[in-house]
Amino acid sequence: MSHPETDTELPPHILIFPLPLQGHVNSMLNLAELLCLSGLHVTILLSNYAHNRLLRHASLRSLFSRHSGFRVATFSDGLPADHPRAGERLMDLAFSLKELGGSQFRRLMESTDGLSDGGARRGVSCLIIDGLLSFIISVVEEMGIPYIYFRTIGACSFWPHFCIQEIIDAGEVPLKGKNEDKLTYWKKKEMDMMVTSVPGMEKVLRRRDIPRSFGVANGDDPTFKTMKTDTKRTVEACGLILNTFEDLEAPILDQIRKHIPNLYSIGPIHALLKDRLESEGMESSHNYSSSLWEEDRSCIAWLDSQPTCSVIYVSFGSITTLTRDELLEFWYGLVNSGHKFLWVMRPDSISGNGNEIPVELEEGTKSRGWMVGWVPQQEVLAHPAIGAFFTHSGWNSTIESIAIGLPMLCWPYFADQMTNSRFVSEVWKVGLDMKDTCDRITVEKMVKEAMDVRRDEFSKRAHNMAMLARKAISEGGTSYLNLNRLIEFLKSTVS
Ligand code: UDX
């Protein structure tokens, strides 16, 4: 609620609402900090679960001390603290958020003093909302507050999401039969046919490169429905923020601009933030962690003892779960490749019964690699001992790898990752796409290819891409200017 007597002297107040998951919180926290640096007041709305973990494992407290304009508001995601928020249980969070998050958000926005800090901040001038939280839009619209969407995916996957209806109308969604298992579905010949209904992507996108939820249960899948509605509703917002940069995805960004002209590509956002903090002389006090898990720094000491480019870094992000069989195929493939590996194995990484890491695998790893629960990923990617990144192609991991110029070996798990990995291998040509296979022989072959046979070729292109990323965030670069444009827009919401 606003306090008209003081409002005019106060900076705009931006409320940022990310989906409370690692891959969404980190980039939106980076944005929060960038906005604070420009003198705006920012409140970030987090689930108690994410907030508590950020307080415990990340540098949230130092963020308060760096920026007097930074605040956190919290809500309950409705799940017990020990409820898995990964793999197949992810949908529990989505449903609970929709159910509970919406009403809590309304109460927060309608309370007289909910976000105004006793009059020290004006009422919310503009919202920056995670593009997957469109269920709160009705409240925002009722209150007449302008809002911008932030999608934590790349343009290359936002665009097919935006064109879902066209893909369905063209009959290009490969349908998964009700009782069909994953492997049979993957192996269908029609999965290799090109998708022709996404303008600008006709030569690159195969059916197996679009999210699988497009084809499950004939479009009745709830994830699919949410994606479809949420993505289309982007046109109703005042703009769209993407953590990408023009030189990486210009042709697709141009396609999106035809529908959403107010598009802010401000990536790689973590690098943009680092630069701005350094230019404010804040680098020494800053620890960049926004981790929801405790970072095990033993891996850095281990990497320090390894030769240059000798280690493959393996991480499948914060949501992926592996079956025991998949885990063993990866492990044998890695070991047989002869390369050392640093492997992130979250405590909740293994799905199904008996979800602890098999003893033989843990023991066998000791001479060949290092396995930890969570790492400071950006530091790991920048470490000279790392030669390539074996990734699930989450967008944050992809853009972090691109920013540092590291070749990738991709094993996409779901959603946007299917498209990201295709772009890594076929458009940017900075790595390999291993989608839809998971056997030790393929893993071994592809690790060797990424680390030995084609490493120079991939590294050269990745290095060039990293230079372009740097150009984008430097003074006068596209991401640099787009952030300034965004800040100007946010300031204009109170004039
Ligand atoms: C998911 C989707 O996969 C992604 O495509 C979407 O854009 C956001 O939500 P996630 O699966 O967790 O995210 O992957 P990713 O986007 O790569 O995000 C993981 C983040 O965790 C990265 O920023 C990475 O640096 C960080 N991380 C991962 C760590 O800090 N330490 C680790 O050990 C592993």
The tens digit of pLDDT for each residue in 89-144 reads 877 888 888 877 788 888 888 886 668 888 889 999 999 999 988 889 988 999 99
Which residue, by CA, sits nearest to atom 5 of ligand 1?
394
Which residues are marked as active site?
A: 24, 130
Please give the domain boundaries of the chain with CATH numbers for all domains: 7-157+223-289+472-491 (3.40.50.2000), 298-470 (3.40.50.2000)
Could you identify the atom of ligand 1 that is nearest to the CA of residue 374?
33
Could you identify the atom of ligand 1 that is nearest to the CA of residue 21?
9
Q: What is the pLDDT of residues 162-195, one digit of tens each?
A: 998 899 889 888 767 777 777 787 788 888 999 9
Using the mean position of ligand 1's atoms as its centre, give its distance from the Cα of residue 28 in Å: 13
Could you identify the atom of ligand 1 that is nearest to the CA of residue 396?
16
Q: What pLDDT shows up at residue 285?
A: 44
Sheet holding 340-344, edge to edge: 369-372, 340-344, 311-315, 386-391, 408-410, 431-433
Q: What pLDDT shows up at residue 50?
A: 92
* Alpha helix ranges (H) inside 298-376: 298-304, 324-337, 359-365
What residues of the chain score a pLDDT lower than 70? Answer: 1-7, 112-114, 175, 214-223, 283-288, 353-355, 495
Q: What pLDDT shows up at residue 7?
A: 63
Using the mean position of ligand 1's atoms as its centre, give its distance from the Cα of residue 26 in Å: 8
Q: Indicate if ipTM > 0.90.
A: yes
* Cα–Cα dist 386/183, whole Å: 32
Using the mean position of ligand 1's atoms as its centre, give its distance from the Cα of residue 77 in Å: 20
Which residue, by CA, sits nearest to atom 28 of ligand 1?
317
pTM of the full structure:
0.95
Q: What pLDDT shows up at residue 4?
A: 46
Q: What pLDDT shows up at residue 2?
A: 46
* Cα–Cα dist 345/372, whole Å: 6
